[in-house]
Structure 1
Amino acid sequence: MDEVSMARVDCRAFVEFCQGHHAHACSIPFEELPARMHELPKTSEPLIVYANGAALPQASAFLTSKGYQVAQAIEWTLPLAASLQAAGLWQSGAQSQRLWQPAPLMARFVSEFMPAHQIQPGQGLDIGCGAGRDMVYLAMHGWEMTGIDYIPGALQRAQQLASSQHVTVTTLQLDLETGQDPFGAFADGQFALITVARYLHRPLFPWLKRLLKPGGILIYQTFMQGSEKFGSPRNPNFLLKPGELAQVFAHTDILLDTVETLDDGRPVSAFICRQVADCL
């Protein structure tokens, strides 16, 4: 396999990484790996692991247990550093390669829908943001993002991810399923963008309409009926029906309404719509 197609993970201490590393490597010290798995690529992408001493087999074993193929596990030595310098594959400093990717629909929104529909970055809200990859990616492209999640650890990881990419995001711990107004801190029509990924709580639909400003964008990606054949979720309350989003948001300008398939076979919605002035 061509080495260029592999992701490089440097599991040494950050100070050592800054002193020098393989070009385009990602710095994740071994002891931080369990909490930073969201910074790695898909498990289908092979990894090259660099580490010192006992950390090398430990890091390799841990990544293998998580489903990764460790194509090479390389002990960091002075001769290795010299060979990298000689080959022009040497970098120093704190810059760490980004190995993670946002959801394909989010990348498509930035590269295709924003220029095609003249969408300018503004305030954005990520509902159920988790570890924040989509939210941070949007912040990297000019959006002023706020992320909501119920799990404090997920919000901590999102803030860490934002810091690693030198962007700022706001995170809020909220329970959106209390039956009360879940968005009391926000004004009607406040957001130019709302994103929801892998989360479905139908009572929130009216609030999404109210929070979007005229011309604002809603991106909704979640599991469709049929996903239960391949794994979770199996509860029908968490599965979209065909055409459901188009019906709920019928008074918007629907820019995309299709179904995509994850690597494991589960169907997910790929839905983007734009609020119009008379929807409020």
Structure 2
Amino acid sequence: MPLPLIDCRPLEAYLLGHIEGAASIPATEMPQRMHELPKTTQPLALCGDVDSLRMAREFLARKAYRVLEQTEWTPQLAASLMAQDRLESGVDSARLWQPAPLIERFVRAIAPAHGILPGKGLDIGCGSGRDMVYLAAHGWEMTGIDYLDGALQRAQALAASQQVNIQTECRDLETGTDPFADYADATFGLVCVARYLHRPLFPWMQRILQPGGVVIYQTFMQGCENTAIGRPRNPNFLLRPGELAEQFAGAEILLDEVENLDDGRPVSAFICRMRHSAVILRAATIIQGARCHPDLCDA
């Protein structure tokens, strides 16, 4: 099987011509585009001019990647590729990165099995955007929220590289008030969260979910503190066993498992679908509680 190939020349050169199936990540941009690389266990191939090859090779070595093949870009190589019908031009760039396994499992297996069709989706704490870009590539109209503007800029660049559109919003999710107040009830058909836990958000998430809307939640669980990594250890950031099923009581549970990351830390693999009656009941509870004290929303 061919190695993933990174063309590390400047984008302008890549657009004019590149090897079929290559991914464009210029050597000068690699430190800002780490989220576009595969796992460090995946060996790589590089293509570029002498300087970009050297720069990319040195950077990847510092990040513990193995570069097994290098190809210098020359006019002779371009002519040979053209003769073999392997010369491509334009913005198409291969995807080397992967979304969270739970997101891929949802798209490939769970959504088809349950007749879940793409609609409007919200990625809470989206970071650099791999999950929402993957969902957007599979038909979801995605919005991502994060408090780091730099992460949102990387998410937009990632979406552009995959030729999909996303919306991003920079906002603080932990003010103590509903951070989704400008979203109408039942706005989204999907809400996903990865590696982020702020329990006061749970009822507000349910308010903006449509009847039949889906929650995908994967984050750290109790037991992370006992692994070799040893973090997070703050209980505010660790789910208890069965906690998500309790928080989304009344929803149809499609998946509720515990998985382990490559480093051994346990994470939730939770997917549920809101029932119509559960959405109405929870929304009424939120409205009544918010009039008294916002903390009641987390009861």
Q: Deviations over 1:63-97 (max 9, x none)?
A: 11112111123322233334444555432332111
TM-score relative to the length of structure 1: 0.94
Q: 1:219 matched to which residue of 2?
A: 216
Percent identity of equivalent pairs: 60
Write the distance in 1 (CA, Å) between the matches of 2:228 and 2:268. Answer: 16
Contact preservation (8 Å) 2:91, 2:161: no
**Separation in 1 of the partners of 2:91 and 2:165?**
18
Query: 1:169 matched to which residue of 2?
Result: 166
Q: 2:203 aligns with which of 179, 202, 206?
A: 206
For 2:83 and 2:224, how far apart are their aligned partners in 1? 51
Aligned match of 1:259: 258
- In structure 2, the gaps of 5 or more residues are 281-299
> Could you tell me how far apart the structure 2 residues matched to 1:230 and 1:122 are?
40
Structural mapping, 1:114-153, within 5 Å: 114-153=111-150
CA contact (8 A) 2:92 2:162 kept: no
**Superposed CA offset, 1:229-273 (max 9, x none):** 232212121111111111211211000000111111111110000
Q: Does 1:55 align with 2:52?
A: yes
Whichever residue aligns with residue 215 of structure 1, its letter is G
Offset at residue 55 of structure 1 (A): 2.0
Inter-partner Cα distance in structure 1 for 2:276 and 2:77 = 61
Q: Read off the aligned partner of 1:249 and give its amino acid letter.
A: F
CA RMSD of aligned residues (A): 1.4
Preserved contact between residue 195 and residue 218 of structure 2 (Cα < 8 Å): yes
2: CA distance, partners of 1:71 / 1:236: 43
- 1:237 alignment partner AA: N
Q: Which amino acid aligns with 2:123?
A: D
- Give the partner amino acid of 1:138: L
Q: Secondary structure at the match of 2:132?
A: helix
Residues in 2 aligned to 1:113 and 1:99: alpha-carbon distance in whole angstroms:
23
| Deviation of the 1:51 alpha carbon | 1.8
Q: Does 1:272 align with 2:271?
A: yes
CA distance in 1, matches of 2:164, 2:143: 12
Report if the CA contact (8 A) 2:19-2:86 is conserved: yes
Equivalent pairs, count:
277
Find the counterpart in structure 2 of residue 80 from structure 1.
77
Counterpart position of 1:17: 14
Whichever residue aligns with residue 263 of structure 2, its letter is D
Aligned amino acid, residue 100 of structure 1: W
Counterpart selection for 2:176 from 171, 175, 179: 179
